[in-house]
Amino acid sequence: MTQNTENLRVRRMKKLLREALLDLIEERGFDALTVSEIIQRAMVSRTAFYRNYQDKYDLVEQIFEDEMHILMSALGNFGPERPPQQWVNLFEHVAEYEQLYRVLLGGKGSPWFVMKMRASLAELVKEHTLVPNKQPIADRRVFVNGFLPTLLASLFVDAITWWLEQGRPYSPGEMAQYCSKLAASIFQEASAWE
C-alpha cells in the first residue's frame, strides 16, 4: 500500500470518527459515550481507533488541536481595525464549523473542551492584546498574571456559545463589534486600576 493511500485512509477514518463523536454528543452527551459506541457509529475497527487515539478524550483533544490550528491560521496578524478583523475571522470560523462548536461548547458537550478553548483564547489575548485601543494598564499584574486574558477568553467562549444556541441571530461582524466594545470597556476600566 502506498503512503498516499494510507494517508487517505487515516484522514477518512478521522473524519468518520469526528462525525460520529459529534452526532453522539448531540444525542447522549459526551460523558455518557464509550469508545465502542463511537467506533460502531463510525464503522471503524477498534484496532484502527487505538492505533491513533488512546481514548475518547484523546480523540476530542486531537479534534481540538486541529481546530485551533485552523482557527489560528484564520485569525492571521492582528491590526488596529475596529473591531479587529481577527475578531470577525473568529466568528466566521465558528460559523463555518458550527456543529463542532455548538456540540462541544453546549450543555451536552465536553467541559474539558470549554476549559481548553478558554485557555487557548487567553493565551492568544496575552500574546496579541486583542483590544482596539491599546491603553496602558496601570496594574500590569492583572494582565501578566492572567486575570484579564482569562476574563476576556471567557467572554468570547460564552458569547460564542450563546450565539450558536440562539441560532446565530447576529452576523459574525456584529458579534465581533459587540465583543470588541465589551473588551475595550474592560481594558479601559483595568487601565485605571492601581
Better pLDDT: 3 or 66: 66
Provide the pLDDT confidence category of residue 128 given band limits of 50, 70 and 90: low
pLDDT at 138: 46
Supply the pLDDT for residue 171.
96
Stated as kind and residue range, the H or E segment containing 172 is: helix 172-191
- Of residues 130 and 2, more confidence is placed in 2
> Residue written as cell 452526532?
23
More confident of the two residues 114 and 146: 114
Phi, psi (rounded to 5 degrees) for 29: 95, 150
- Summarize the confidence of residues 46-74 as an average pLDDT: 87
Tens digits of residue pLDDT in 37-55: 999 999 999 999 999 999 9
* pLDDT, tens digit, 9 for 90 and up, residues 5-26: 678 888 899 999 999 999 999 8
Cβ-in-10-Å burial (0-12, 13-18, 19+) of 21 comes to buried
Q: Tell me: the pLDDT tens digits for 81-109?
A: 556 787 888 899 999 989 889 988 988 88
Residue 153 has pLDDT above 80, yes or no: yes
Of the two residues 193 and 42, the one the predictor is more confident about is: 42
- What does DSSP assign to residue 21? H
Identify the pLDDT of residue 166. 95
Rounded to two decimals, what is the model's pTM? 0.77
Q: Which of 29, 106, 111 is nearest to 37 (CA)?
A: 29
Which domains, from first to last, does the chain contain?
1-53 (1.10.10.60), 60-191 (no CATH)
pLDDT digits (tens, 9 = 90+) for 155-166: 999 999 999 999
pLDDT in tens, 129-148: 544 444 444 445 555 567 88
Residues 6+ apart with CB under 8 A from 74: 89, 90, 92, 93
